[in-house]
Chains A and B, each alone.
Chain A
């Protein structure tokens, strides 16, 4: 690839210092690149710091060591170019769906008419074209998450980050949302970083899967998923990937457990 990476993560580490206790090493010495338009899944046992990495790329958390670059520029503060979607949609209940989607545009002083146009366009794209003036709590969980997607997309981000976005949804909704996400990803041309602890989610979505070790989180390995989309879970190669990830994670989950037991 000729172009420079969309994101490069260089020896990044993160330490927490809880009040009155010894500092905790959450992440240590992470290094990898994300190509423009690439779909990366961060997979690891819970508590390994993969979400923390997203927050640092978003600019919401500081790095304790190393540096993160976005388009060659060091990340120092949040930016709408790096959209972040949470496990809960976190839509503002006092705004209509359209106003929620247009929130970032309003912050940036876009004209009201233009704001509405963009909100309509984005909501149509996520299949919520007839929900413009509904309240967030009138929508189902999956719809709310799509609206949150539209809110991030309205800012035309170069990077779309998602912190276990489908974990709170039921299984059927979840698989529909994954299809939807792939479509959004293709349309927008943004690169996607998605955090999950679901092996199936990783295999069905990712170009490459970054596997994390238990705490302190490090890159255990990076696995490219070499399967054509749409990916069928019946495919024997899919099974091979699943077995591989299960094995990779089993050690880490065990280590995380042992550590928790030790206190």
Chain B
């Protein structure tokens, strides 16, 4: 909408500036966001550094940023390229760090994608096919409140040590939420949308793919985004226990070797990845669900 045009840019009293750098309001807002981001993080790090300088923060337990960021090559040697538990770190380096980040991210992405697709499929089946609803819904309602973490032993019993249990836990995190939300969203599709489809002679299949699915996708995507952070938590726990590589494994190893620098370095990486993946989902939403206003929804 044109409502959020900066009033200053409209005021006729303002003489035209001759200075070279003139930014559009959108860019100015972006820079402001970025600037405040730096100020906020800087303040947090500054207080931490101050506490260290005053001697309140023990550098062995709570090493301030300049300590855990100073020796990055030294830290990186703990990252391993092989996807095996207990393998001796062989050099590490930036590539190993990227591989570790990549494998954790990949587990999240695969788990979320599978969970989303299966969730919508099962949710729609439950909604439309009465016997399926009678058979499945009670079990789903029983399983849905169980914390994904509680599934971890089951995942390891069934799938063994490896990538699958981690992906499975992420899957569980979104699956039940999407199943239950799909049914509720199908209920709330405006009746007139369905009427229009029926009048135009749409079959049930056409109505589902062309009317129901597009009208429920935005809210389902919102459910997915709300569960993204839970998915990140769960994947780290799974990696701590059941997978040879990944950021969770590094954190666990850092804890058991009392390597506080590595702990905070990895936490920083995890924070950045979580932020980036939410940003990524928002971009996907903008591209694929273009009819939904960009600011609509959670975590904005």
Contacts and interface: CB of A to CB of B under 8 A. Distances in A.
Interface string A89-120: 01011100000000110111000000000000
Contacts of A90: 190, 192-193, 195-196
B192 A88 contact: yes
A84 interface: yes
A224 B292 CA distance: 47
Given A60-B199, A80-B200, A92 B211 contact: yes
A173 interface: no
A103 B197 CA distance: 9
Contact of A107 (B190, B195, B201, B291): B201
B86 to A, nearest CB: 51
A84 B210 contact: no
Contacts of A188: none
Interface in B83-131: none
Nearest to A151: B196
Interface residues of A, number: 24
B195 A60 contact: yes
Given A84-B195, A92-B211, A78 B291 contact: no
Contacts of B58: none
A49 B233 CA distance: 55
B198 interface: yes
Contact of B291 (A79, A94, A103, A155): A94
A79 B192 contact: no
B206 interface: yes
Contact of B199 (A78, A92, A94, A106): A78
Interface string A38-63: 00000000000000000000111000
Contacts of A155: 200
Interface in A59-88: 59-60, 78-80, 82-84, 86, 88
Interface residues of B, number: 20
Contacts, number: 60
A92 B214 contact: yes
Nearest to B213: A94
A104 B291 contact: no
A135 B294 CA distance: 14
A111 B195 CA distance: 24
Contacts of A93: 215, 291-292
A103 B199 contact: no
Contact of B201 (A84, A88, A108, A135): A108
B186 interface: no
Nearest to A82: B199
Contacts of A59: 198-199
Summarize A's interface: helix, strand, loop or mixed. Answer: loop
Contacts of A79: 199, 201
Contacts of B211: 92
Interface in B188-242: 190, 192-193, 195-202, 206, 210-211, 214-215
A90 B199 CA distance: 13
A7 B214 CA distance: 35
B290 to A, nearest CB: 8
Nearest to A104: B200
A140 to B, nearest CB: 13
A104 B214 contact: no
Contacts of B291: 93-94, 135, 137
B206 A107 contact: yes
Contacts of B215: 92-94
A108 B211 CA distance: 15
A80 B195 CA distance: 11
Contact of B198 (A60, A86, A135, A137): A60
A104 B210 CA distance: 11
Q: By CB atoms of chain A within 10 A, which of B195, B198, B200, B291 has the most? A: B200
28 contacts: A58-B195, A58-B199, A60-B195, A60-B198, A60-B199, A78-B195, A78-B198, A80-B201, A82-B199, A84-B195, A86-B195, A90-B190, A90-B193, A90-B195, A90-B196, A92-B211, A92-B215, A93-B215, A93-B291, A103-B200, A103-B210, A106-B210, A107-B200, A107-B201, A107-B206, A107-B210, A108-B201, A135-B291
Interface of A: 58-60, 78-80, 82-84, 86, 88, 90, 92-94, 103-104, 106-108, 135, 137, 151, 155
Interface of B: 190, 192-193, 195-202, 206, 210-211, 214-215, 289-292
